[in-house]
Chain A
Amino acid sequence: MNKSERPRRNEKVGQIIDYALFLVAPLFVIAVWQVLGDGGHLNLSILPTPQKIMETMVSYAKSGLLSEHFASSFSRVGAGFLLGGLTGLIFGTLLGLSPWFNRLSAVILGVLRPIPMVGLVPLFILWFGIGEKSKILVIAVGALWPVLLNTEQGIRSTDSKYLEVARLLKKDRFTILRRIIFPAAVPELVTGFRLGLSTAWRGVVAAEMIGATRGVGYIISYGREMSLPAAMFLGLLTIGVVGILIDILLARLQNKIIKWA
C-alpha cells in the first residue's frame, strides 16, 4: 500500500459508515416493533407488525393492485402539480413584478392561503362532483402556494445592480424579464417547485378521500373501512417513502440546474 492510497481508502470507509448511519435508527425501530409484536405486547388489530405490513405489500404487489394504485395517484399528482405549479408561476411572477397587483391581491391571497387542502375537499365535491376534477384541483391548490410564494420572492429579489446594467445597455422589458429576472430567480423557482411537488404528493391523501376507488390515498381509507390496519400502514408508508425519494431526486436536479451557484 502506498501513501496516497491510504487516506482515500479511509475516505471510502467513512462514506460507507455515513450512509449506514442513516439506516441504523430506522432498522432499530423496525426491529423493536417486530419484537414487541411477536411478544404479544402490541394490540395487533390496530398496530400490525412490520412483517404483516410487508406481507400485505407483497400481496398487493403480486396482484398488480399496488402499481395500479400508484399509477392513478401519480397521474393525479402530475396533473394537479402541473396545473397548480403553472398558476403559481404566473401569479407569482405578476406579484413579484407589479407592486400594484401585489396590493390589489394581498388581502384575498392572505385569506385564502391558510386554508388547508383538506378543508377544500367538501367544497370541491360540491362544485365539481366526486370525479377526477375535484381530486386534481385539491392537489393543484396544494402545489400552488409554495410555487407562488417562492416565485414572487425570487422575482422580487432580483439584484437591482443587474437591472441597472440592463438599463445602461438599453434592453427592453421583455429581454430583461427573460434574460435577467427569470434566470436570477431560478434558485427560488426550483425551491418552489420542489416544495410544490412534495406538497402535491402529500395532498394525494386528502384528494383521494373524495370517493376514490383507486390510489395510494384510497388504500388508507379502504384499510380503515375494512379494518385492515396493515393496508393503512402500507398506504402511509408508501406515501412517506415516495415522498422522500421525490425530494432526493429533486435536490439532485436542483444542483444540476443551478450550476453557477
Chain B
Amino acid sequence: MEPFLNIQHVQKTFSLSGSNLEVLRDIDLDIPEGSFYSIVGASGCGKSTLLRIMAGLESATEGSVRLRGREVKEPTLEIGMIFQESRLFPWLSVRENIRFGIFKTSPEDRQQIDEHIKLVGLTGFETALPGQLSGGMQQRVSIARALVNRPDVLLLDEPFGSLDAFTRINMQQEILKIWEQEKTTIVLVTHDIDEAVFLADHIVLMSRRPGTIKKIVKSDMAHPRKRSSYEYTRLRNEIYQEFFAEFKTDIEYSI
C-alpha cells in the first residue's frame, strides 16, 4: 500500500553569513492516515523546521515529503497548520477569520462555518473581534480556520505553548475531541513531554544539532488517558530518561 504521509531522508541546512548550519539530518518518518504523532525535542532541535517543511512553507535541502505519493513542495489545502500564535486577522470577526480559511467562498459557506464554530465551542462569539477574546479562544478560532477546508493532515507547531496551564489542558482535550470526530491525521510539535504523552499515539524524540530522530515511542494507551495511571507515568518516565541520558553524556563529554 502507498504510504500516507512519508518523510524521506530529509536534511536541512541553513546558511548563516557564510557558514552552514545543519538543522536536520536524515529524517525518515512514515505517518499512517488517522494517526496522532507528536514530535518532542528541546528548543533548537529543528522540530519546527521539520514541521514547516512538511507544510511546504520551507523546502528540504535534501530528501522529500510526500502525501499519498505526491511530493509536497509548497503549501497545499490538504495540509493545514496551526502556530503558537493564533495569527488571526485582528480586523476580521471570528466568523470572517474562519471564512478566510475557505479556499473558494460560496453562499453555502455559512453552514460550514457554523459547524466549525460549534466544533471549537465558540457559538455566540461569531461577531467578536480577536482582540476581544482570550488566548485560548483565539487559538480555537485558528483551529477552526485551519479545519474549515477539511484538510487530511493538521500540523500543530507548539499550539498551546503560550497558554496558561488550565487553558492548555482544556485545549488538549479539545484537540483530542476534534481528532476523534474529524479523523484528521495530526502531527504535533511540542517541547512539553507531558502533552505528547497525553495526546499522541506515536512520540518522536529528536536530538539536537543536527536534529535527528532518536527514537519513536509507540503508545497504545486508550483515550481518555489518565495522567495518574501507571502506564502513563511509565511512558513519561521512559521519555524523560531518553532526554536525561543525552544530557548526562553531554556533560561528561565537556569535562
Residues of A within 8 A of B (CB): 161-162, 164-165, 167-170, 179-180, 183-184, 186, 259-261
- Asked if B91 CB lies within 8 Å of chain A CBs, one says yes
Give the chain A neighbours of B103 by CB distance below 8 A: 169-170
Contact status B100-A170, CB under 8 Å: no
Chain B nearest CB from A183 CB (Å) reads 5
Per the CB 8 Å criterion, the residue count for chain B at the interface is 24
Known A-B contacts A165-B87, A183-B91, A186-B91; A259 and B129 likewise in contact (beta carbons under 8 Å): yes
Give the chain A neighbours of B85 by CB distance below 8 A: 161
Known A-B contacts A161-B85, A164-B57; A260 and B80 likewise in contact (beta carbons under 8 Å): no
Known A-B contacts A161-B83, A167-B57, A170-B103; A260 and B129 likewise in contact (beta carbons under 8 Å): yes
Contact of A169 among B90, B101, B131 (CB under 8 A): B101
26 residue pairs from A and B, CB less than 8 Å apart: A161-B83, A161-B85, A161-B87, A162-B89, A167-B57, A167-B74, A167-B75, A168-B55, A168-B75, A168-B79, A168-B80, A168-B81, A169-B100, A169-B101, A170-B75, A170-B103, A179-B100, A183-B89, A183-B91, A183-B92, A184-B91, A186-B91, A259-B129, A260-B91, A260-B129, A260-B130
Give the chain A neighbours of B57 by CB distance below 8 A: 164, 167-168
Q: Which of B104-159 contact A (CB under 8 A)?
A: 129-131, 146, 149
- Which of A164, A165, A170, A184 has the largest count of B CB atoms less than 10 A from its CB? A165
Give the chain A neighbours of B87 by CB distance below 8 A: 161-162, 164-165
Chain A nearest CB from B69 CB (Å) reads 20
- Asked if B77 CB lies within 8 Å of chain A CBs, one says yes
Residue in B closest to A259 when the chains form the complex, CB atoms = B129
Known A-B contacts A164-B57, A169-B77, A169-B149; A260 and B131 likewise in contact (beta carbons under 8 Å): yes
- Asked if B76 CB lies within 8 Å of chain A CBs, one says yes
Chain B 57-84 interface 0/1 with A at a Cβ cutoff of 8 Å (1 = within): 1000000000000000011110111010
- Which of A161, A170, A259 has the largest count of B CB atoms less than 10 A from its CB? A170
Give the chain B neighbours of A169 by CB distance below 8 A: 75, 77, 100-101, 103, 149
- The interface residues of chain B, by DSSP majority, are classed as loop
Contact of A261 among B74, B75, B79, B90 (CB under 8 A): B90
Give the chain B neighbours of A170 by CB distance below 8 A: 75-77, 103
**A164 and B83 alpha carbons, distance in the complex (Å):** 10
Chain A nearest CB from B23 CB (Å) reads 18
Chain B nearest CB from A189 CB (Å) reads 12
Give the chain A neighbours of B89 by CB distance below 8 A: 162, 179-180, 183-184
12 new A-B contacts, CB < 8 A, other than A168-B75, A170-B75, are A168-B57, A168-B146, A169-B77, A169-B101, A169-B103, A170-B76, A170-B103, A180-B89, A186-B91, A259-B129, A260-B130, A261-B90
**A168 and B55 alpha carbons, distance in the complex (Å):** 8
**A179 and B105 alpha carbons, distance in the complex (Å):** 13
Contact status A260-B90, CB under 8 Å: yes
Chain B nearest CB from A154 CB (Å) reads 13
Residue in B closest to A179 when the chains form the complex, CB atoms = B100
Give the chain A neighbours of B131 by CB distance below 8 A: 260
Give the chain B neighbours of A162 by CB distance below 8 A: 87, 89
Residue in B closest to A180 when the chains form the complex, CB atoms = B89
**A261 and B91 alpha carbons, distance in the complex (Å):** 8
Give the chain A neighbours of B149 by CB distance below 8 A: 169
**A119 and B83 alpha carbons, distance in the complex (Å):** 53
Residue in B closest to A165 when the chains form the complex, CB atoms = B87
Chain B nearest CB from A43 CB (Å) reads 57
**A94 and B85 alpha carbons, distance in the complex (Å):** 30
Chain B nearest CB from A156 CB (Å) reads 18
Residue in A closest to B76 when the chains form the complex, CB atoms = A170
Chain B 193-221 interface 0/1 with A at a Cβ cutoff of 8 Å (1 = within): 00000000000000000000000000000
- Which of A161, A186, A260, A261 has the largest count of B CB atoms less than 10 A from its CB? A260
- Which of B85, B90, B149 has the largest count of A CB atoms less than 10 A from its CB? B90
